[in-house]
Every structure is written in structure tokens, then in C-alpha cells.
Structure 1
Amino acid sequence: MQHIIELLIVLLGIGVTPLLYYRFPKIPKHIEPPDDKKRRSLSVIIPARNEEKNLPLLLEDLKEQCYGNFEIIVVDDGSKDKTAEISKSFGVKVITICDKPSGWLGKTWACQKGAEASEGELLLFLDADVRLKPQAVERILKTYEKKGIPLSVQPYHKTEKCYEQASLFFNLIQIGANGVSLKKPQNIGLYGPLIFISKDDYKTIGGHESVKENIVEDMALGVKLKEAKIPYDLYVGDEEISFRMYSGGFQSLLEGWTKNIASGAMRIPLLLFMMIFFFLSSLISVPLHILTFFISEQGTWLFVYLVFYVLWVGILYNLSKNVGKFHPLAVLFYPLPLLVLVFVFFTSLYKKIFKKKVVWKGRSI
């Protein structure tokens, strides 16, 4: 009986996957351009703390955009490196903030100050590790102008080093848990790396001040938009809208995901949470049962779970191509990045429950 229950859990996880990842919506590439005379002014706001390596890449990308009618504001959030100097060398507006008020987190305060200093009627918030091909801003602007509602993009995750493969499941969970991939999108919250919103809508929801204490401020902003009855669209990035997260080493990867994952999980609606739960339970169960049945020499069950393993590898290979550049070996040996996810989740949950601090970019939060 126990084997049957465990088998049902595996099958249920496989069964919910096409529902959970029904689609991966991309920013359209071919939209009829509106009248340029009717276009509103745009401000690009980049909160940056110790981003001397990433920032020049993004600023160079912004200089090469086909649509170039926008101002760029870099908010130097108390950096201890050359973030401010590099920004000034590109001729952009630089705001340096050294002390944030009590009750604010660094990023929310930086975004708020950038918005207050902006002159544009439209605001594009970008994380410093985002990369944009020359058509990217034009695509985003045209997509916004077609519907006139805020939009947010989870960039395509480009990886270079071996340890970065550990982000595979974090990317899938982040997209799946937001409900953007469902047949009927749920849009639980925004994606922090790229948020496009009019200044009027931004002011209506109280800006970043309304979410100043939230570690997952992007999800909180989405909640504020819903409360104000302002609809928004979510997209998944492609080669033209990408990022390379946590390039500073494996420790930065662990710290970054630990900062977000438990707080984000607590905001997921129950039904969506259960779908994620069975998705992960099935993935975890299969390799564990392979090991168990191999040791106990139960050949029939071992064969069954080997078939499931091959099936999951095929499913993950197809899913991974939509969210980032992940090596086939990371998919083939998926229990390894899955183990990192489980470790980070329970570490984050422990810190959340017992109110332990997480170190991120030299700050304890």
C-alpha cells in the first residue's frame, strides 16, 4: 500500500507540471509602433550597491538601445567600490545615498529616491545585473503602450560557471509560484529585476514607500497594484532580456536565494503552493526510490522509477530552455541542484521563523 501511495505522489507531480508550466509568455517582438509624438518620457532607474562589475555592462547596453530617448538614473546605495565613479563616467545622473531611514531596506529606499529624482512620465526599474540587447527597451515600451498597464519581466538566466547551474530550480519555482505560467495567469507579484510602470500608477500605490520593509518587495508591489485594482502583465525573458545572477561565487548564490525564498513561499496561494509541493515532491521522490530499490534489489520497482527519472529529465530539459541557459548535465543530474534548493529553503525558513538575519551585499537584513 505504501508503494502505491508513493507512486501516486510521483504521478501527481508529473500530472500538475503541464498545468503549472502551461506557457512561458515572452515580450512580443513585432508590434506596430505608435506615433512617436504621443510617446511619454521615460526614466530608467538602477538601484546599485557594489555593482562595479555589472553596472558598466548594463550602462553600455542602454547606450546602444535603438530607442534612446530616456534618462538614466543610477542610485548608488552606499557602495564601497567604484559604482559611483563608473556611473559618472557614462554621463548618467548619479544619486548617492549613504544612510537609509529606519524601517527601510536598501533597495526599496534606492528605488524610491530614484523615482523622486526622475523626470519621466514612465519608470523602468532595472537591477544592475540585467542585460539588454539593442531592441529590448523598444520592445518593452511598445508592449506597454499597447495595453497601458504596468509590466514586469523575469529575465532569461544566463550562466557561465559550474556553480551557477544550482539556480535551475530556483528559476523554475520563481516563475511557477508567481502563477505566470498557468493557462489563466494568477500574477501573484512583480519580478524585481525589471519593472515598467507609469509614474501615475507608481504614485497611486504609494511607490516603494508602501513596501519599504519587504525583503521580497517585488511581490509586495504586485499586491499593492491588485489592491488598487491596477492590472499588470508578467513576462519571461529571452536572449534579448537576460541577466546573470550571483556571479560573485557560490556563497553569493546561497545568500541571494536564502534572502528571498521563504518569504516568497509564504505569499503563495494555497492551490498554487500545493502544485509546487507535488511538483517538487515527485522530483525528490524518484531518485530516493531508485537508491532504495537498488539497495533492496527490488528490480521491478527499480525499473519503474528509472523510467520516471528519464521522464523527469526530459521534462526538465524542455522547461529549463525557457528560463535560462542551463547545461544538459545539470538536468541529467538534477538531484544536485535540487539538493541546493532544499537546503536553501529550509535555511531560509529557519531564519524567517526565528528572525535570524541574512547577510546580503555587506548588510544584515
Structure 2
Amino acid sequence: MELFIYLLSATLAVSFLWIVINGQFYPSYQNPSKLSPTPLVSILIPMRDEERNVQPLIENLKHLTFPNLEIVLLDDHSSDETYSKALELTKMDSRFSLIQGAPLKKGWAGKVHACHQLSHAANGDYFLFLDADARLKENTIESMLPFFKDQNVGLVTGFPHFPITSWLSKLLVPMQHFVIWLHLPLALANYSSFKPASAAHGAFMFFERSAYDFVDGHVAVKSSIVEDVHLARVMKEHGFKVKLINATPFVTCHMYETNAEVWNGFLKNIYIGIGKSPIMVTFLTIYYSLLYVLPLILAFLTPFYGIWFIVPLLLVWAQKLYIDLKTGQASYLFLFMPLSALAFLVIMHASMWKSLKNQHYIWKGRAYK
């Protein structure tokens, strides 16, 4: 048993070292530079039943300091007051335009179809697709444009800072950062054309327009409900670089408000996100059970078997705390890491079985498989 504890502790220590080293391959922010002529940036936002987000979203966008912006909002057949609220809040600002979405075409995912329409309504040299629950720091645009100075960069994206509300959001939403830091080789993601090493977050997708047009934009992923990752892979496939940044200093995403939203949101994405692979589900189940759930059980045995039994849990906490600090997350959440891992496994299995039983995922009144 002691040998197992030593091996487990050594594995977790190496994982912690890997997390620290891996994080060094996020691209560094550069000082905003004045561009001449100043490019036009189109901020493009699909909205479906976003009544609660409309006002804070528009107020946030009005405070952006970049001088050459157009902001296009699309109401995608909302059943609430999204359109009327947006119309009232934007009518006095010439930078904003509001359009109503066309009926969803067969074979298209809803958000992708909305983004495709937005791209046709935009005039910018750059396209920034935002989710309605995203909020930007005032100087975000001018801070992101320098990333495009590197040759052939077509997409800049990153995982935002996530405010958390419900208990399930506390367990699962910040795990998005943990999964990236632990599992994605950021050197390959940012400095190679290796497609499997790709990640993106749909709340913040910043494209150079000619690159977006070259790959046919959202048409290339029209049926995807994880279009962010698939678009990143399409960009690499066509020879463009994708910059995955730590976006937390500039982008905040109020992703889910309730436990039900957290469950349904992860349910529709997680199994598709790992390629609908039962083999990967099996591997991740074993991996997270041994490395991130078991240490909590071992810690309870410390009074009976000695201090070494708590070391694995301390190393698990150290990993999560390090990532939470680097991504601006609430620092106390590291204490729940074993429960976060368990919740991740539960929803991953639920997502897999829903797919294997050929059942639909439901999101905002639409059904997907």
C-alpha cells in the first residue's frame, strides 16, 4: 500500500510540474499599438432567449475604447423580450445594428446558423464573435489585435474568467481551465498545425476576416454544436495559426446561472467534445478516479496509516489552486477538486449514454444529437 501511495504522489507531483511548465506556452500579451489605418472590428453576437443578458451586455460594449467598431446583434427567434430590449437599448448608438435571424436551415446547428448570418452582415477587417453572456474589459480589442502581428494568425481565442453562482457551477465550470492546463499541450496548440492539439471557447472567437472567409467560416462546421473547437481545427487544416490565450484578464463569461443550465450545457458538449469515444471515457474515468477522487478517500485514512496518506490530496489541491490563481478564479474552490472530478465523471457518463441511446440533447428549445 505504501508503494502505491508513493507512486500516486510521484505521479501527481509530476503532473503539477507539467501544469506549471505547460502554462508558460500561453502567448504573452503585448502592449497595445496604434494601427494606421485603424482597422474596422465587427463584434458579432447571436442571441436566443437572452433577456437577462441584453442590458448588461450592451452597457458593457458601449464602454469599449477601441475607436473603430461596429456591433451587430442577431435575435435568433427568441421567445422572450430579447429583441425589444435590445432595440430600445441600441437605438441611440450608431455603432449598433440589430437584425432578426432567418428560420433555421436543415442540417445547421442553431448558433452556427446565427453566426453565419452575422458574418454576412459584417463589414469589418476582423470578426469578434461573442456570446451574449460575455463581458469585455474596456481595452480588450486593442489588447488582442497585436496577436495577429504573428504571421498567418487567423484566430485568437481563449477561455474566459467564469463567475460562479450555483453549487454545480462551482464544481464544473472552472474545470474547463483545469482540463486545458492539464491535458492540452499548449506548445502544440499555439505553435503547430497539429489539429488534435486544438481548443477554443465559443464565447470569444476573434478572426482575421480574410482567414475566416478563406475557410468558409461557419459554413465549414454548420452542423456542429462544439463549433468553437471544430473551427479551430479547420483553421489549422488550412494552414492558419490559432492562438489560444489565457483570456481571463480581459474576458468574463457568465456562463450558467442555475444547476439545470450547468447540467444541460455540459451534457450536450462533453461527449461530443472528446470525439464520442467510449475508449476515451474509459480512460478518463480511470485517470480521474485514481488521481483526483481517490486521494480524498486516502486522506480520511491518515489517522490510521500515517501522514503519507494525505500527501496525494495536498498535491491535488496544489494543482487546482495554482490554476485557479492563474485564471482569477475564487481561491477556495481548490478544496472541492475531488468533488469536481467526480461531478465531471458523472456528467461525462450521462452525456455518453444519452448519445449511445440515440437521444437528443436539448438546449434553448432546440434538439441536437
TM-score bracket relative to the smaller structure? 0.7 to 0.9
Letter of the aligned partner of 2:291 in structure 1? Answer: S
Q: Deviations over 1:244-292 (max 9, x none)?
A: 2102x01101111111111112289x99x9799746631122113335x
Matches of residues 86-125 of structure 1 in structure 2 within 5 Å?
Answer: 86-89=85-88, 90-91=90-91, 92-97=96-101, 99-125=103-129
The match for 2:39 is 40
The match for 2:296 is 287
Answering whether residue 332 of structure 2 is matched by residue 343 of structure 1, we say no
Q: Deviations over 1:156-181 (max 9, x none)?
A: 11224544312232331145444337
Q: Deviations over 1:294-329 (max 9, x none)?
A: 7xx8513xx32212212322221111122342241x
Change (3 A) 1:321 1:338: same
Answering whether residue 148 of structure 2 is matched by residue 144 of structure 1, we say yes
Change (3 A) 1:80 1:184: closer
Is the 1:44–1:73 Cα contact (8 Å) retained in structure 2? yes
Is the 2:41–2:126 Cα contact (8 Å) retained in structure 1? yes
Answering whether residue 329 of structure 2 is matched by residue 325 of structure 1, we say yes
Answering whether residue 356 of structure 2 is matched by residue 353 of structure 1, we say yes
**Distance in 2, Cα, partners of 1:27 & 1:63:** 28
Identity of paired residues, percent? 22
Give the Å deviation of 1:96: 1.6
Structure 2 unaligned segments of length 5 or more: list them. Answer: none
The match for 2:243 is 233
Letter of the aligned partner of 1:130 in structure 2? Answer: A
TM-score by length of 1: 0.86
Change (3 A) 1:223 1:333: closer
Three-state SS of the structure 2 residue aligned to 1:53 is helix
**Distance in 1, Cα, partners of 2:228 & 2:170:** 24
Three-state SS of the structure 2 residue aligned to 1:36 is coil
**Distance in 1, Cα, partners of 2:126 & 2:261:** 32
Is the 1:23–1:181 Cα contact (8 Å) retained in structure 2? no
Answering whether residue 174 of structure 2 is matched by residue 168 of structure 1, we say yes
The match for 2:131 is 127
Is the 2:288–2:341 Cα contact (8 Å) retained in structure 1? no
**Distance in 1, Cα, partners of 2:268 & 2:219:** 20
The match for 2:77 is 78
Three-state SS of the structure 1 residue aligned to 2:174 is helix
Three-state SS of the structure 2 residue aligned to 1:321 is helix
Is the 2:162–2:174 Cα contact (8 Å) retained in structure 1? no
Answering whether residue 223 of structure 2 is matched by residue 217 of structure 1, we say no
The match for 1:23 is 23
Task: Provide the aligned length of Structure 1 versus Structure 2.
Answer: 354
Change (3 A) 1:24 1:81: farther
Three-state SS of the structure 1 residue aligned to 2:138 is coil
TM-score by length of 2: 0.85
Is the 1:179–1:188 Cα contact (8 Å) retained in structure 2? no
The match for 1:265 is 274
Structure 1 unaligned segments of length 5 or more: list them. Answer: none
Give the Å deviation of 1:338: 2.3
Three-state SS of the structure 2 residue aligned to 1:232 is strand
